[in-house]
Amino acid sequence: MLKFIAKRLGSAIGVLFAASLLLYILVINSGDPLKDLRESNADNREYLMAQRIEYMELDQPWYLRYWDWLTGVSKCFVGQCDLGRNINGVEVSGLLANAAASTLRLVLIATVIAAILGIAIGVLTAVRQYSGLDYIVTFLTFLFFSLPVFWAAVLLKEYLAIGFNDWIASPDISLGTSILIGIVLGLIMQMFLAGSLKRRALTFVAVAIFVPLVLQYSLWLNFYRFPQMGPAIVVVLTLLVALSATSMTAGLKEKRVLYPALITVVLVLAAYYATFYLMSEPNTWILLGGLILAVAIPALVGRLMGGRLRKNAASVAMVTGFVGAALTVIDHIFRAWPGFLDNKGRPISTIGSSTANFEGGYWDHFLDNGTQLLLPTILLAIISLASYSRYTRSSMLEVQQQDYIRTARSKGLSERTVIFRHAFRNAMIPIATIAAFDFAGLIGGAVITERVFGWKGMGEMFATGLDHVDANPVMAFFLVTGTAAIIFNLLADIVYAMLDPRIRV
């Protein structure tokens, strides 16, 4: 394994070197970085030109400038990166740190959301091949994939930002609209759940009646301005996750898996009360530490109580603990929402990654950053959704034709066991490659997204560098995206061996 990683890293460094050299030459020959000053009538024009020449080292041959940049990059291995200065004399390393934090936060969240939803949709459509659901999902995923980014961004701004901000000031859903929403959701749910005609009809009727009642009841509670959940809802939802995860992996009859999951639900309730005041005004490290404990402790319980099924028990307990911790965080976010609305007024902004001079506690800033992330994250996620769903569907259909799947079915195993314990794991091997390329690709795609939403991220730094024929910011962008592509492809190769022991690196 170590020999394989060393060889891959060696070849990756060679690829990065050749690509960086080509990009550097293309950028510096794409225009004149002094053009705006040559056309200026300022009295100190000559001084400004001399200053820019000094900042950008334009008095040096291109190969010496490239060598200086390469030397500065090599210092990153000892934690002293020197990526030069931009056209205004500002250190690019500082600009990159802020831009990368903004962009990677956006891209990472969009990738996770797209992967989870895309894989789930792909598995479902593969199981329900050539059904009405399959055709509708296929149409929608390719529709999202084909949307022009700038046009979709304008639609999101209009309806999910401006329209929502107007609506949240005085929330109202008419009875007719509630009934229409219930009918639409009923049609969707009966397609997802499938089954006999009678079952589908009952599903449709139940959803079509239940949803309008819930919507009208939520308006009566003024839930949209004063949301509330509480420990009872947290426990009930966590319990449902525990039962669902147990049913999907081992079945509810397997007590070695079920009991650790139920114990985790009790631990979530105990942690809710024990950390209530601490979570009222936490910090990022407290949340991160709590998340680690919420996964580690249930995993330990599952391994100790699971016996021969300890891996399944640990996995189910970890999922239950993670969901319970997430619901606890959501409960505190709900409690902070009314104050956030009063403080900010219009919660979803259409420009920028944060609100300037925004005052408030930890949860207020958390909500501010979250609402700023909402629109660009949705945009990047729906674009990537098609790739994940279609590749997952294709991979699942191919795997289901294998002999070992037919053997599993002939042995009398349940369809749930065949799908999730035999087919799903092997179907994930091609998806590891897609995820690796998608992450790096989204960073490049974020250039347009960040421009539309006014984010000061890597996309903005890259575009500004190209506009001003400023090589150092462009090369900094390449350094991050190129390195991300190499690392994620290496991780994909390692994941192959984890998913399928027959694969050896």
Cut 0.85: pTM above it: no
Mean pLDDT, rounded, of the chain: 86
* pLDDT grade for 487, boundaries at 50, 70 and 90: confident
Rounded distance, CA 336 to CA 334, Å?
Answer: 5
Task: Say if CB 387 and CB 118 are below 8 A apart.
Answer: yes
Question: Given this model, what pLDDT does residue 16 score?
Answer: 86
SS3 category, 91 = strand
Distance CA 78, CA 466 (A): 29
The set of residues, in sequence order, having a beta carbon less than 8 Å from that of 426 and lying 6+ positions away, is 399, 402, 499, 500
Q: Model confidence over 206-228: pLDDT tens digits?
A: 999 999 999 999 999 999 999 98
> Per-residue pLDDT tens for 26-69?
998 888 888 878 877 777 888 888 888 888 888 888 889 899 88
Looking at mean pLDDT, say which of 6-20, 284-298, 375-389, 475-489 comes out highest.
284-298
- What is the reported pLDDT for 345? 79
C-alpha 122/C-alpha 138 separation (Å) is: 10
What's the pLDDT at 101?
A: 81
Write out the H or E segment, with its range, that includes residue 59.
none
Q: Are 321 and 267 in contact (CB under 8 A)?
A: yes
* Residues 490 and 505: beta-carbon distance below 8 Å: no
**Residues 376-386: pLDDT tens digits?**
888 888 888 88
Q: How far apart are CA 304 and CA 298, in angstroms?
A: 10
At 497 the pLDDT is: 67
* Helices first, then strands: H and E counts in the chain: 21, 0
How far, in whole angstroms, is CA 361 from its chain's centroid? Answer: 25
pLDDT grade for 234, boundaries at 50, 70 and 90: very high
pLDDT (average), residues 421-446: 76
For residues 127 and 2, the model is more confident at 127
Distance between CA 282 and CA 351 in Å, rounded?
A: 27
User: Positive or negative CA dihedral for 67, 69, 75, 76?
Assistant: negative
Measured between alpha carbons, how far apart are the two ends of the chain, in Å? Answer: 6
Q: Nearest 5 degrees, angle CA 473-CA 475-CA 480?
A: 100
Of 212, 211, 206, the C-alpha closest to 174 is 212
Cα–Cα distance between 117 and 134 in angstroms, integer? 15
Q: What percent of the chain has pLDDT over 90?
A: 26
